[in-house]
Structure 1
Amino acid sequence: MEAQILFHGCTFSELANSIANILQNNTLIQAPAQEAELITRDEVCKLLNFNKTTLHKHTKEGRLKSYGIGNRVLYKRSEVLGAVKPLKR
């Protein structure tokens, strides 16, 4: 037997608005966490299929932005994927 939830004193539109607000707030909270995912140099090289020398060159020329924690060099996955652009032909 399934449990039922009964709402008294709440209209359908009020319930729908409340659910929409909850879903919207959860989406806004979760989205930045995915964008801020940090990956290592090895993971960037594997993702873009090139070596660390090429990665260093692209970082030095400003095409990719690196971040540091201690002696570790990290990249934001969203920024790495955003740096890949279609070629104009």
Structure 2
Amino acid sequence: MQENNITQVHSTTPDQLYNSILKGVRTELKILVENFQPKKQPEYLTRKEVANILKVSLVTLSDWNKKGVLKPYRLGNLIRYKREEIDQALKVIYNKK
């Protein structure tokens, strides 16, 4: 059996109802706009770029890959690193010292 939901509005003109709904929608949209943060696309760096940032040789970079200090991403024959993961690894490396 299907239920019918009926809402009755007394003492309100159609314009008042319209403006009330519009005000509520605008308030919600304003909150969404204030809290909206677009999703950042990850920035990928080459081995040479990472070696220059970390001021290490490519051999050290390969060693850190094997030890799990850095996480390389393979794109075919290319190796790339995520910028934010490099920043986190830097903090870990220098906190150990």
TM-score normalised per structure 2: 0.65
| Matched ranges for 1:29-68 at <5 A | 29-31=38-40, 33=41, 36-68=42-74
From 16, 30, 41, the counterpart of 1:19: 30
Once superposed, which parts of structure 1, at least 4 consecutive aligned residues long, lie more than 2 Å away?
Answer: 8-11, 13-17, 22-25, 85-89
Aligned equivalents of 2:96, 2:52: Cα separation in 1: 25
Do residues 77 (structure 1) and 83 (structure 2) align? yes
How big is each residue's C-alpha offset from its partner over 1:49-74, in whole Å with a ceiling of 9 and x where there is no partner? 11101111111100000001110000
Q: What residue identity is the alignment partner of 2:76? A: G
User: What is the rounded CA distance, in whole Å, between the counterparts of 2:54 and 2:75 in structure 1?
Assistant: 22
Q: Which has the larger radius of gyration?
A: 2
CA 1:63/1:88 → structure 2, altered by over 3 Å: closer, same or farther?
A: closer
Q: CA RMSD in A?
A: 2.3
Aligned residues: 76
Counterpart residue type for residue 30 of structure 1: K
Matched with 2:10 is: none
Deviation, 1:88, is 5.8
- Aligned identity (percent) is 29
Match of 1:5 in 2: none
Relative CO higher for 1 or 2, CA cutoff 8 Å, sep ≥ 6? 1
Structure 2: segments with no counterpart, 5+ residues: 1-17
